[in-house]
Amino acid sequence: MLYPAAQLVRASVSQFSVTGLSEGFVGLRNYTRLFRQEPLAMVVANTVVWVAVVVAVTIFLSLALAQLLGARFPGRTLVRWALIVPWAASVIMTSKLFAWIYDYYFGVLNPALQALGILSYPVDWLGDDATVMGAMIAVGVFVSLPFTTYVLLAGLQGISPDVFEAARVDGASAWRTYRSVTLPLLRPALLVATVLNIIYVFNSFPIVWTLNDRNPGFGHDTMITYMYKIAFKSSLRDVGLAAALGVVNVLLILLAVVGYLKTVRWREEAA
């Protein structure tokens, strides 16, 4: 793990020709150049929206799904297996499948929504600036659900039934029990699920790359796809500059995770 990290740092302080040929040490010049890039602010904003919304919606839906899968009902095994499918499929294939579902001319989403009377005219989900991010977030949530649900389900099943029994005897309502008993006891599982999701969603490349590949410019890129474009797909074509962004990305994700853990611990102490 140290070797690639050292390589990344070394590349970030070197100058490279378009071909990838190293032209020597340039100190922090790539970093100062990076912060002068015009699209950077928008890309950072996109990244914050992408990570925050995907993680929040995923956790919220996973809590509900975990509750459902924890309950006994006919066909539970089947549903549990079905939930694994989006996890087992490669994210690239899933993204391509969704690119097709969203397609303006060939996709199934527009006809379905029109048939249901939800839309009166078709929408170019992946071409319209207003809908691209939402379309990507939906796929991000879809592929994050299985893992998160299973982490939370494991957490739920780790809670002793006695606690619920005690809450019932005390006459607590279902909602009250959930808020005052289940959620606090799920805290460790929630913490793990959130931290891992933040890292995973931040670093996710295939979804944004595949669903956004038709759009020129950097209007819907996250910091990960922007890094790739800086290196290979924009007129910058500069692996040194991209490496600088790579280093910034690693630091940022560390900062985000530490920040999250600090906030959570602070709240715990305050409570």
Dihedral angle, C-alpha 92, 19, 43, 108, nearest 10 °: -30
For residue 244, the minimal CB distance to other proteins (Å) is 15
The nearer residue to other proteins, 60 or 106, going by C-beta atoms, is 106
For residue 223, the minimal CB distance to other proteins (Å) is 17
For residue 180, the minimal CB distance to other proteins (Å) is 42
Burial state string for 215-229 with b = 16 or more CB within 10 A and e = fewer than 16: eeebebbbbbbbbbb
Helices (H) and strands (E) in the chain, counts: 13, 2
For residue 39, the minimal CB distance to other proteins (Å) is 10
Burial state string for 164-189 with b = 16 or more CB within 10 A and e = fewer than 16: beebeeeebeeeebbeebbeebbeeb
Q: How far apart (Å, rounded) are the C-alpha atoms in residues 179 and 176?
A: 5
The nearer residue to other proteins, 194 or 220, going by C-beta atoms, is 220
The nearer residue to other proteins, 83 or 241, going by C-beta atoms, is 241
| Per-residue DSSP letter, 229 | I
In angstroms, how far is CA 21 from the centroid of its own chain? 34
The nearer residue to other proteins, 143 or 220, going by C-beta atoms, is 220
Structure tokens at 121: 């005219």
The nearer residue to other proteins, 23 or 268, going by C-beta atoms, is 23
For residue 82, the minimal CB distance to other proteins (Å) is 29
Site residues for other proteins per CB under 8 A:
2-3, 6-7, 10-11, 16-22, 104-106, 124, 126-128, 213-218, 228-229, 231-237, 239
Query: Can you tell me whether residue 23 is helix, strand or coil?
Result: strand
